[in-house]
């Protein structure tokens, strides 16, 4: 599927924003956390624009997400130019339907396996969903996130209060250590920035994340611009009725190469590839 790496990149970045909001505990952090909690309480719908370094690297995705607080059950729908991904996560098994039924597969929720199934480079020691869940109540992680968000600047606008902060890999030392993310995986990442707009009703109406990476000595910015829609309304997402029709990951691997590993590329998380 065209731009599949970009679509999954959008999802990962948005999850990072939500993770940041959920772990905070004071001052600006409390406001941002409460706003994200309120926005995602019943699920959310959003339009996502990805702006790369060139015009042809720009894409637009429509996204709907609903989940419980602990990410035990997750519903996800993403569409781009008529193609899409539907994912249902339950009991630590992810059911992914790509291209609206043209391809269906059943995989475990280990991020390494899930990412490789949809064409994203992943390391052998990629974090599991359990690893990510554990971060939320980790005291050291909470303090690290607090320190970052408490430095956010605040601007009053017609759309609400805009909270802005910059970050580097050093901003997430504890998270990087706990998830065992290697230096090689972060080799292209240089710095980033994030903005969240909290409207008068306490919802996050917009979130913008910009990531700067380096490719062949050239700085490459990629911006994810997320506009949340139908705030306060639960998106219409339900579990598939044909779960027994989804193929196991090992069956899918055999279909595409006699049992060969479907992972694409090396173990580098090359942020410059997100807009390809």
Residue 100 has a pLDDT of 53
Q: Is the pLDDT of residue 253 over 80?
A: no
CATH number of 4-268: 2.50.20
Please state, in angstroms and rounded to a whole number, the distance separating the CA atoms of residues 195 and 165.
7
Q: How confident is the model at residue 57 (pLDDT cuts 50, 70, 90)?
A: low
This prediction has a pTM of 0.73
The Cα angle at residue 109 between residues 104 and 115, in degrees rounded to 5:
70
pLDDT per position as a tens digit, 195-217: 999 999 999 999 999 988 887 77
Residue 254 has a pLDDT of 57
pLDDT per position as a tens digit, 171-180: 888 888 887 7
């Amino acid at each position: 599927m065209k731009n599949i790496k970009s679509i999954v990149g959008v999802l990962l970045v948005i999850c990072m924003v939500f993770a940041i909001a959920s772990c905070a505990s004071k001052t600006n952090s409390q406001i941002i956390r409460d706003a994200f909690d309120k926005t995602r309480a019943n699920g959310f719908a959003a339009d996502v624009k990805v702006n790369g370094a060139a015009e042809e690297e720009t894409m637009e995705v429509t996204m709907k997400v609903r989940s419980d607080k602990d990410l035990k059950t997750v519903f996800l729908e993403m569409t781009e130019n008529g193609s899409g991904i539907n994912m249902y996560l339950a009991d630590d098994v992810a059911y992914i339907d790509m291209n609206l039924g043209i391809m269906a597969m059943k995989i475990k929720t280990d991020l390494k396996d899930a990412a490789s199934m949809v064409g994203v480079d992943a390391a052998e020691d990629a974090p599991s969903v359990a690893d990510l869940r554990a971060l939320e109540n980790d005291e050291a992680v909470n303090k690290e996130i607090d320190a970052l968000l408490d430095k956010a600047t605040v601007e009053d606008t017609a759309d609400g209060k805009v909270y802005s902060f910059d970050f580097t890999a050093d901003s997430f030392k504890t998270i990087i250590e706990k998830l065992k993310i290697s230096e090689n995986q972060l080799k292209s990442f240089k710095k980033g920035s994030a903005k969240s707009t909290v409207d008068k009703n306490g919802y996050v109406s917009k979130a913008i994340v910009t990531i700067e990476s380096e490719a062949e000595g050239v700085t490459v910015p990629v911006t994810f611009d997320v506009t949340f829609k139908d705030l306060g309304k639960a998106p219409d997402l339900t579990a598939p009725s044909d779960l027994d029709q989804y193929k196991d990951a090992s069956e899918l691997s055999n279909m595409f190469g006699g049992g060969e590993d479907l992972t694409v590329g090396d173990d580098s998380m090359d942020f410059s590839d997100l807009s390809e």
